[in-house]
Amino acid sequence: MQTALADFIRDTPAGREADTILRSCVHCGFCLPACPTYQLLGDELDSPRGRIYLVKQLLEGQPVTSRTQLHLDRCLTCRACESACPSGVEYGRLIDIGRTLTEERLPRPPAVLLARWLLRRIVPHRRRAALLVGLARSVRWLLPPALERRLPRGRAAPWPPVRHARRVVLLEGCVQWALAPEINAAAANVLDRLGISAIRASAAGCCGALSLHLAAGSEALAQLRHNVDALWPHVAAGADALVFTSSACAAMLGDYGRLLEDDPAYAARARRISAMTRDISQLLDTERAALTATLAQAAGGSRTCAQPVRVAFQAPCTLQHALKVRGAVEPLLSAAGFTLTPVADGQRCCGSAGAYSILQPRLSRQLLRAKLVALEAGAPDVIASANIGCLAHLRSGTALPVRHWVELLAARIAGG
């Protein structure tokens, strides 16, 4: 694609990055069938190729209009288009640059600004999110079922003591800490059985993804720098890896090196942190032999015969499109004795997408309904996912239990 970037952006780091991305797009349109919003709305401007044109126009100095904002807002940042693109266009980075420009140049209505500000003020802050969740729990009988089903229902198992020489940092994130602490406790217990101790990094906070995708770039960079400072002592102390049970947060930490590359005080440490970051599926995939042996031992020692439990696995977009982890979780669930049910259109987003379910509720609900039809088609007993946002979103629309897949492994190892 030919470009002629305007003076205001041409010689900036964002301008140079955007120019490279734009030039890699050859307009072929292979990404269109993969795009959930194009599938729903049938409008070229709600497709990856259409949005790439809109961002190109912005960067070439054309005025920012409400139409530009509407179509960029409707993008889920699911990055299914990146998986489908034969030219390797880094669409996810381009849309972040385009959104930041739009946000700077086109004011939003006060009510929308307030909603976005409140999201950024509450969700990434653990104690505020926990307070909100606590309040909601105290009046749960008053809440609509779709909201009530999102509230915590599990109880976290105790974390095992730190007793192994092999150690990883298990990050707790922000909203997951408030909504589902049982997930990290389950992961810590699975890792402990494999001879790996999980250390909490309490000083680290939100990964910064919410602020970044809401076009609050400076705020996101402050969160990144805070986390680099909070995690560095663990890196220096010899931790093997920085592990998330939320694939969206793992994908974000994996980008720290690139996002902080122009900051001389942080660039080297950020690169190292990105290189050490793993989603729990990536870590357990490398431990597959030991895990399989542990599961076999647990099955042999169990006094009750394990029931065949049918599981529908929903692979979050951040796992399959951002981290490019495909086919790692399913064999581990099979090894644990679960029966995987078929799921059509597995590459399609569930509509959660960070704050999307709040800011674009109509499209989000349409995607959720389609996703649940696909997940429930194989008559599963339980739906499993790998990201807290997807878990909460899926729970809002189904009566089936929805769990993180590592909880299922932990239950099997514990003989459940």
| Contacting positions for ligand SF4 (CB under 6 A) | 25-31, 34-37, 48-49, 51, 75-81, 85, 87, 89, 91
Q: Which is nearer to ligand SF4, 80 or 168 (CB)?
A: 80
Q: In angstroms, give the least distance from the CB of 32 to ligand SF4.
A: 7
Contact 17, 97 (CB under 8 A): yes
3-state secondary structure of 169: strand
Q: In angstroms, give the least distance from the CB of 31 to ligand SF4.
A: 3
Residue spans of beta strands (DSSP E) within 345-410: 382-385, 402-404
Q: Which is nearer to ligand SF4, 44 or 148 (CB)?
A: 44
Q: Which is nearer to ligand SF4, 179 or 390 (CB)?
A: 390
Q: Which amino acid is residue 313, in one-letter code?
A: F
Q: Which two tokens stand for residue 142?
A: 């008053």
- Report how far apart, in Å, the C-alpha atoms of 406 and of each of 161, 184, 189, 343 are: 19, 9, 10, 19
Q: In angstroms, give the least distance from the CB of 344 to ligand SF4.
A: 17
Q: Which is nearer to ligand SF4, 213 or 395 (CB)?
A: 213
Q: Which is nearer to ligand SF4, 368 or 406 (CB)?
A: 368
| Strand 339-340 with 277-279, pairing | unpaired
Q: In angstroms, give the least distance from the CB of 349 to ligand SF4.
A: 6
Q: Which is nearer to ligand SF4, 91 or 338 (CB)?
A: 91
Residue 402's φ and ψ, nearest 5 degrees, are: -125, 120
Q: 169 - beta bridge partners?
A: 199, 242
Residue 314's φ and ψ, nearest 5 degrees, are: -100, 115
Number of other CB atoms surrounding residue 401 within 10 Å: 14
Strand order across the 310-313 sheet:
339-340, 310-313, 382-385, 402-404
Residue 384's φ and ψ, nearest 5 degrees, are: -120, 145
Q: Which is nearer to ligand SF4, 205 or 351 (CB)?
A: 351
Q: In angstroms, give the least distance from the CB of 85 to ligand SF4.
A: 3
Q: In angstroms, give the least distance from the CB of 108 to ligand SF4.
A: 20
Q: Which is nearer to ligand SF4, 51 or 272 (CB)?
A: 51
Q: In angstroms, give the least distance from the CB of 160 to ligand SF4.
A: 39
> Tokens 């990536």 belong to which residue?
282
Q: In angstroms, give the least distance from the CB of 43 to ligand SF4.
A: 12
Q: How far apart are CA 88 and CA 212, in angstroms?
A: 22
- Long-range contacts of the stretch 41-48 (C-beta < 8 A, 24+): 41/74, 43/71, 45/71, 46/71, 46/74, 46/75, 48/81, 48/85, 48/89, 48/91
